[in-house]
Amino acid sequence: MRRMWPDEYAFLLDEAEEVELHIPPVTHEDGSPKKATTRRALKARISQEDFEKIWPLAEARYRLGGRLSGKAITLITSNPHYQKWHPSDGGSVENVSDSGRHYTSRFVIVHFLLDDVRETAEA
């Protein structure tokens, strides 16, 4: 099944930075070492409010359009292999509304695994 990243959340990836996740080696059940791996990812700082909206999309793979066409992402939230990259505090910003009222905008740092999408073509 091909799921596309919802257009209404495309703006969340506009300022995303492409990074590499260095996953340390783990040990197999038989005691033999497993190799360390590297995964490409997108790192984004988004508002807490937007994060709560996309939470239901976590841990599923979505294809992208636009500048990231040909790629797919998976929002990391609770996978134990990626614990180091689970959502974290992204700080807050104090603002003043047009009416003069002070408010705080909270942010979250999130990581999306980034994969190339290969389309199969019939000969």
- The token pair at 92 is 């807050």
pLDDT band at 2 (very low <50, low <70, confident <90, very high): confident
Residue 1 has pLDDT above 80, yes or no: no
CA distance 114 to 88: 19
pLDDT band at 122 (very low <50, low <70, confident <90, very high): low
* Main-chain dihedrals φ then ψ at residue 13, nearest 5 degrees: -95, -5
Q: Collapsing DSSP states into helix, strand and coil, what is residue 64? A: coil
How high is the pLDDT of residue 121?
56
